[in-house]
Structure 1
Amino acid sequence: MNDVCPVPGERGPARIGTRTAERPGGHPAVIQGGMGVGVSGWRLARAVARTGQLGVVSGVALDVMLARRLQQGDPDGHLRRALASFPFPDVVERILARYYVAGGIGSGTPYKPVPRLGLRPHPGRTELTVAGNYAEVFLAREGHGGPIGVNYLEKIQMATPAAAYGAMLAGVDYVLMGAGIPSEIPALLDALAEHRPAQVTVTVAGADTGTRHTVEIHPHTLYGTATPAPLTRPRLLAIVSSDVLATYLARRPETRPDGFVLEGPVAGGHSAPPRGRLRLTADGEPEYGPRDHIDLAKVAALGLPFWLAGGYAGPRALADALAAGATGIQVGTAFALCRESGLDDKLRRTLLDAATHGTLTVRNDPHASPTGFPFKVADIPGTMADPALRAARPRLCDLGHLRTPYVKPGGAVGYRCPAEPVDTYTRKGRPADETVGRTCLCNGLVAAIGLGQHRPDGYAERPLLTLGQDLAFLRDLPDDHTAADVIAHLLGGQSGVCTDFGPSGGLQALDPQDGPS
C-alpha cells in the first residue's frame, strides 16, 4: 500500500516568513471534498485533518462569509482571534471598522454589501478576500499536525490571486482547483510564495483574439516595503473529469500540477457536462456515456498521484482505488452531512432524515447553475429546489461571484449573469432563453449555511442545497455521524493508514465525539 500518512508534529499559528519543512511520507489516502460555500468550513476541515487525512476548506466567497459573520458579532470570537494573528494589522483594522458589529446586527437586518468581483483593482475587495481566506485556513490548522487544503473554482478567476495569497499566508498545504483548466495556477503559487506580483488570465466573452485580460495581486500593497521571508508553496491538485485534460496539464512543467482528483458525474455540486451533444434522460438529467469514463491507466502513466472522487464513500471503494494505482479517494457528501459540517443544522438534519428514509432526491440539473455546468440540487421543501419558490424570488445578482465579464459595444468590459433580471441580461446582448431555469447559486448557497441576506423590501434569501447522488454510505454510518465516523468507515480494514494525530502529534484513537472546541 502507498505511504499515505503525514508525519505528525505540533503545528501552531502560521507566521509570515516562516518556511515550514516539506512534509515527507507522501499524501493522505482520504481527501475531504471542498463542498459549497462554507459547508466545508474550518471546523470540518480541522476534524478531518486531526485524523491524519486531508481536511479541505471551501475557498468560495470567503470574503462574504467573513463580512457577514463579523456583522453577526463573531459571538465565539474565533474570527477575531484568527485576524489578530494576521501579519498585516492595518488591513485588519480597516476590515473590523467596516464590518464588525459588537453584539451583532438585529434579526432581519440586511447585511452590508461587499465589493463584487471585477477586473479593476479594488483595495478593499482584495483585503477582504485575503483576510477571509487567511482566517479560514488559520482556524482549520489550529492545534494539530494534519494537512489542510483549500478548494477553489477555476471559473471564479477574478478572486483567485487574492484568495490563494491569503490561504498561503496561513500555511495551507494543498490547493485543489476544478471547474476549469488550472493551467496558470502553478506559476501563480510560485510567485505568491515569494510575495511577487501575480496574475491569472480572465476569460472575457467577446474579447478579440490576442487580447488578454488579467486580474492580479501586488502583495507589497499589503505588507509595505520590507519584503517578508518566502512562504511554503502548497501542492496543487487539479480536479478533472478527463484523462485528456490530465495529460494536457501534465505535459509541460509550467502547467503541471502536483496531482489530480479524478471526479465522476455523481459527485456533488458542479459536474462537467457530457462530452458530445447534450442528451437528457427521461428525468431531465444529462446522460453520460462511455466517452465520459476516465482512463485510469493513462492517468497513472503520467507519474503523478491521483485520487478518485464521486461515489467512493466506502472501504471497498478505497481498496479498489488503491488497486487501480490511485493514491486514495476524495469524499464529499458523507462529510457534508456530518456534525461538523457548515450546513445550517436544521437543514442538515432534514437532509439526513430524508436520505435515511429513502425519500431524498438529488437531481443533476442541467439548467440551475449560471455557469452552464450541470449542478446537483437536493429536493428539500422550502428551498430553492422548489420551482414555485424559484419563480417567486425577485431576480437579483448582488453577490456576483459567477458573473461573466464581456466586452460591451465600444470596448469596455461589463458583467452579466443569466440569473439576473431577464431584461437586464437581454440588454447586455444575450437571448432570454439563457435565463430559463437559472438559479442564483451565490445567494442560495450562502443561505444554506445560515448567512442568507434579508433585503430592505423584506425578502429573505432561501437556501439551495447540493449533495452527491450516491447516498448508499449512510447505511454504514451511525445516526448523526461525525467526521471521525466517516474516516473510521472509509479506512476500515486498510492497514498502514494513520488514524489520528492530536495536538502533540501523538497517535490517538478515533473518538466519534471528537468535534471542534
Structure 2
Amino acid sequence: MTLYPHIIQGGMGAGVSNWRLAQAVSRTGQLGVVSGTALDQILVLRLQDGDPGGHMRRGLDAFPFPSMAARIYREYFIPGGKRKDAPYRLLPAHTRDTPRQITELCIVSNFVEVYLARQGHANLVGINYLEKIQMAHLPSIYGAMLAGVGYILMGAGIPLKIPGILDRLALHQPVEYELSVKGAREGDRFVMQFDPAECQDHPLPPLERPRFLPIVSSNTLAATMLKKANGTVDGLIVEMRKAGGHNAPPRGKLQLSGSGEPVYGDRDIVNLEKLRELEIPFWLAGGYGHPGKLEEALAQGASGIQVGTAFEFATESGLRDDYKAALLAQAIAGRGHVFTDPLASPTGFPFKVAQLPGTCSEPEVYAARARICDIGALREIYLIPGGELGYRCASEPITLYTSKGGAPEEAAGRKCICNALLANIGHPQIRNGQRMEPGLVTAGDDLNTIRDFLLPGHSSYSAQDVISALLSGAPAAAHSSHAVP
C-alpha cells in the first residue's frame, strides 16, 4: 500500500513556495512542496543579504560534500548583508555548456531548500519544477534527491523522460536530458548531460527514488504521460485554467475576449470519467482551494486536490509582506482582480497577473522599466546557422531579440518574469544605485476567496488555517494521508 496526501500545496513561483511554507504544510500530514525555480539564484541572493537567521548556513552544513558547500558560502556570503543601494551579484545564465560552478549551485541550492523543509517532522516533502526550464533539471533534481525529497512535480511541458532520470539518479548514474531547440533540423539532437560521480567527494549509497507527479491540463496529455513515459508515473495533477501562474493555452486558434484574455471552450475541459479510466491517482487543481472542494474532488474519484493561491498568502509563504497585505485587503473588499495576460510571459503561454499598484501589472510601471534580460531562466534556445546554439528572450531589448532572429511582434508586451518574481520575494535588483525592479504577482482566478481563511479579528492567516478550512467539510478519513494499492 502507498500513502498519498489528500492536499498538495502548490509549488508557486520562484521562492513563494519556500521551505518555511512547505515545512508548515508537511507538518500537518499533507504534502508541502517547495518551488524548484531559480533556487541557485535565490540561494546566492539570500547569502548576499547576510543569511538572516543563519538558515542557509544550516542547510549548507548538512550537505554531504562539505568542500562544495564551503566554496559557495565563501563566494557569496556577505556578513551583515549588502548595502541597500548595492546591486545583487547575479549568476551567469544557464547554457548547454553550463560551467561547473553553476552545476554545483543547482545541486546545493536544491538540497538546502528540501533539507530545511524536512526539518521538524517526519513527513514527506515535494519539489515542483517547470519542464520548460530544461538546462537546470539534472543537477537540480539530484540535489533535491540528496536531501530526501519524496515527490517530484513537473508541469509547463511534457516531461516524458523524467521518470527514467529519477531511476538512474537514485543509483548515482549518469543522465542526459534532450533540449527543445527552435529551428532544429531533422536528426539534430542536443542534450544536457550530468554525471553525479563528477561532483562527489566520496561514494554514497543508493538514494530513495521520489514519486513522480506530472502536471497535465488535458486528457490527451494525461494518457500520453502514462503510455510514453520512460518509467513509472505515480499519479497526475490535473490543472484547470483557473490556476495561477502559466496556463495551458486554449486548444485551437487563439481567440481573445473583449478584455483581451484568452477564451477557453468545451475542448479545454478535462473529462473526469476518462481520467478515472486511467486507473491512476490524480489530484484536481485550479479553483479547488475552498472548503467543500476536497469533498467534491474525492466524490469525483480524485485522490485529493492541489491548492496554490490560498497558501500563497499564508504567513509562511515567501511572498513579500506588503504585497500580501495589499492583495488581502483587496480580497476582503471583494476588489481583487486577476488578468489572464496572453502576452506577459516570454514563453508565449498565458500568465495570470494580479492587478496591484506599483507592480508591472500597471501599464505605466511596465513602460517605465528598461527592458533587460540578466537572469535568463525563460530564454528560448534556438539554432544559429552553422549548427551552434543561441539563446534569446522575448522580454529582452527588442533590437537585441530581433538581431537573434526573433520576430518583433513576439516581443511586444512581454514582461521580465524572472526579475519580477525575485522582486516578489524581497530580492529586487537595484539599477543605477536607486531604482528597484518592480514585482509582478501571479494568483488564481479565485483571489478574492482568500478572505475566507481569516479568523474573526485577524488580518493574516497561516498554512494550518488553510489546511483546517479545506478539511472542514471532508470525511474524517481525509484528515491524513490515504493508502492506495
One-letter identity of the residue aligned with 2:269: H
CA contact (8 A) 2:110 2:140 kept: yes
SS of 2:476 mapped into structure 1:
coil
**Which residue in the other structure is 1:21 paired with?**
none
SS of 1:200 mapped into structure 2:
strand
Aligned mate of 1:133, from 110, 114, 133: 110
Give me the whole-angstrom Cα distance separating, in 2, the residues matched to 1:457 and 1:477: 40
Give me the whole-angstrom Cα distance separating, in 2, the residues matched to 1:263 and 1:346: 28
Shift of 1:495: 2.9
Shift of 1:174: 0.3
One-letter identity of the residue aligned with 1:158: M
Gaps of 5+ in 2: none
Aligned mate of 2:238, from 246, 262, 273: 262
Give me the whole-angstrom Cα distance separating, in 2, the residues matched to 1:30 and 1:491: 9
Give me the whole-angstrom Cα distance separating, in 2, the residues matched to 1:242 and 1:253: 16
Give me the whole-angstrom Cα distance separating, in 1, the residues matched to 2:5 and 2:427: 32
Q: 467-476 or 54-63: which moved more?
A: 467-476
Answer yes or no: is 1:309 the counterpart of 2:309: no
Answer yes or no: is 1:480 the counterpart of 2:457: no
One-letter identity of the residue aligned with 1:288: Y
Shift of 1:253: 5.7
One-letter identity of the residue aligned with 1:489: A
Answer yes or no: is 1:194 the counterpart of 2:174: no
Judging changes above 3 Å, is the alpha-carbon distance between structure 1 residues 155 and 393 closer, same or farther for their aligned structure 2 residues? same
**Which residue in the other structure is 1:47 paired with?**
24
**Which residue in the other structure is 2:471 paired with?**
491
Shift of 1:459: 3.0
**Which residue in the other structure is 1:103 paired with?**
80
CA contact (8 A) 2:160 2:229 kept: no
**Which residue in the other structure is 2:44 paired with?**
67
One-letter identity of the residue aligned with 2:397: P
Shift of 1:165: 0.6
CA contact (8 A) 1:52 1:498 kept: no
Give me the whole-angstrom Cα distance separating, in 2, the residues matched to 1:126 and 1:409: 28
One-letter identity of the residue aligned with 1:387: P
Give me the whole-angstrom Cα distance separating, in 1, the residues matched to 2:56 and 2:33: 18
Give me the whole-angstrom Cα distance separating, in 1, the residues matched to 2:480 and 2:257: 44
**Which residue in the other structure is 2:139 paired with?**
162
One-letter identity of the residue aligned with 1:401: A
Equivalences, count: 477
Residue deviations 1:327-346 (CA, integer Å, cap 9, x gap): 00000000001111110111
Answer yes or no: is 1:34 the counterpart of 2:11: yes
CA contact (8 A) 1:364 1:375 kept: yes
**Which residue in the other structure is 2:419 paired with?**
443
CA contact (8 A) 2:111 2:146 kept: yes
CA contact (8 A) 1:50 1:500 kept: no
Give me the whole-angstrom Cα distance separating, in 2, the residues matched to 1:368 and 1:66: 26
Residue deviations 1:57-110 (CA, integer Å, cap 9, x gap): 000000010001001110200110110010011111211121011111111111
Answer yes or no: is 1:419 the counterpart of 2:395: yes
Answer yes or no: is 1:382 the counterpart of 2:358: yes
**Which residue in the other structure is 1:294 paired with?**
270
SS of 2:251 mapped into structure 1:
coil
CA contact (8 A) 1:111 1:454 kept: yes
**Which residue in the other structure is 1:145 paired with?**
122
Residue deviations 1:436-483 (CA, integer Å, cap 9, x gap): 110000000100000111124643211110100113533432141110
Q: 172-181 or 425-434: which moved more?
A: 425-434
After TM superposition, the runs of 4+ consecutive aligned structure 1 residues lying more than 4 A away are: 498-501
Give me the whole-angstrom Cα distance separating, in 2, the residues matched to 1:121 and 1:448: 27
**Which residue in the other structure is 1:176 paired with?**
153
Give me the whole-angstrom Cα distance separating, in 1, the residues matched to 2:2 and 2:464: 22
Give me the whole-angstrom Cα distance separating, in 2, the residues matched to 1:48 and 1:148: 9
Shift of 1:255: 5.0
CA contact (8 A) 2:336 2:448 kept: no
Give me the whole-angstrom Cα distance separating, in 1, the residues matched to 2:451 and 2:429: 36
**Which residue in the other structure is 1:404 paired with?**
380
Residue deviations 1:130-156 (CA, integer Å, cap 9, x gap): 111111000000010222100000010
Aligned mate of 1:92, from 46, 55, 69: 69
CA contact (8 A) 2:244 2:443 kept: yes
One-letter identity of the residue aligned with 1:463: G
Shift of 1:118: 0.8
SS of 2:306 mapped into structure 1:
strand
Answer yes or no: is 1:338 the counterpart of 2:314: yes
SS of 1:76 mapped into structure 2:
helix
SS of 2:126 mapped into structure 1:
strand
Give me the whole-angstrom Cα distance separating, in 1, the residues matched to 2:316 and 2:110: 19
SS of 1:64 mapped into structure 2:
helix
Shift of 1:216: 2.0
Question: So what's the TM-score if we normalise by structure 1?
Answer: 0.90
Judging changes above 3 Å, is the alpha-carbon distance between structure 1 residues 472 and 451 closer, same or farther for their aligned structure 2 residues? closer
Give me the whole-angstrom Cα distance separating, in 2, the residues matched to 1:250 and 1:500: 27
CA contact (8 A) 1:29 1:497 kept: no
One-letter identity of the residue aligned with 1:487: I
One-letter identity of the residue aligned with 1:400: G
One-letter identity of the residue aligned with 1:416: R
Answer yes or no: is 1:114 the counterpart of 2:91: yes
Shift of 1:302: 1.2
Shift of 1:252: 4.0
One-letter identity of the residue aligned with 1:242: S
Give me the whole-angstrom Cα distance separating, in 1, the residues matched to 2:452 and 2:50: 39
SS of 1:130 mapped into structure 2:
helix
Shift of 1:429: 1.0
Give me the whole-angstrom Cα distance separating, in 2, the residues matched to 1:475 and 1:351: 10
CA contact (8 A) 1:491 1:497 kept: no
Higher helix proportion: 2
CA contact (8 A) 2:160 2:228 kept: no
Give me the whole-angstrom Cα distance separating, in 2, the residues matched to 1:64 and 1:266: 29
**Which residue in the other structure is 1:80 paired with?**
57
Question: So what's the TM-score if we normalise by structure 2?
Answer: 0.96
Answer yes or no: is 1:272 the counterpart of 2:248: yes
Q: 85-94 or 489-498: which moved more?
A: 489-498
SS of 2:435 mapped into structure 1:
coil
SS of 2:340 mapped into structure 1:
strand
Give me the whole-angstrom Cα distance separating, in 2, the residues matched to 1:75 and 1:310: 34
